[in-house]
Amino acid sequence: MEGVLVTGSASAELTGECVRCLEPITDEIEVDLQELFVYDDRDHDSEEDDEVSMLQDDLLDLESLLRDAVVLALPFQPVCEDDCPGLCPECGARLLDDPDHAHEAPIDPRWAGLAALQQDQQHRE
Ligand SMILES: [Zn+2]
Ligand SMILES: [Zn+2]
């Protein structure tokens, strides 16, 4: 008697990018909604009007209800796959495309002189 109880579900299409490899991803979510919209009864002296959804001239404004429900349902850190390995820290290649991706171990600059010597020796042989 105090208002209208709204129940339902809404679905939305998501687009974004993987937080690990930046690959574009699309997804779909479905959220359940339930909210009581109370009649706008000005005789009520409620100081919590902001917390309560009101009927406005027999109309329901579902926007904030929908927005809140969808935002809460959004994945906090969307990934293209659960075990997405991300990007190569050396060159930025996407590791999912190239699982065997590897670089030769970087040469410690203190040994760089020895490496040059080794190359020199191989050259002479
Ligand atoms: Zn990814
Ligand atoms: Zn790489």
> For the chain, what is the domain count?
2
- How much distance in Å is there from the Cα of 74 to the middle of ligand 1? 17
Instruction: State pLDDT tens for residues 64-103.
Output: 899 999 999 998 899 999 999 999 988 999 999 988 888 8
CB 55 within 8 A of CB 40: yes
- How much distance in Å is there from the Cα of 118 to the middle of ligand 2? 25
Q: What is the pLDDT of residue 23?
A: 95
In a domain, 15, yes or no: yes
In a domain, 66, yes or no: yes
- How much distance in Å is there from the Cα of 114 to the middle of ligand 2? 25
Instruction: State pLDDT tens for residues 4-42.
Output: 899 999 999 999 999 999 999 999 999 999 999 988 766
- How much distance in Å is there from the Cα of 88 to the middle of ligand 1? 12
In a domain, 82, yes or no: no
Torsion sign over Cα 23, 74, 67, 31: positive
Position 47 pLDDT exceeds 90 = no
Same domain (yes/no): 11, 38: yes
In a domain, 58, yes or no: yes
Q: pTM for this structure?
A: 0.59
Map residue 123 onto helix, strand or coil.
Answer: helix
Identify the domain containing residue 12 by its residue range: 3-73
Same domain (yes/no): 12, 68: yes
| Closest ligand to the CA of 100 | 2
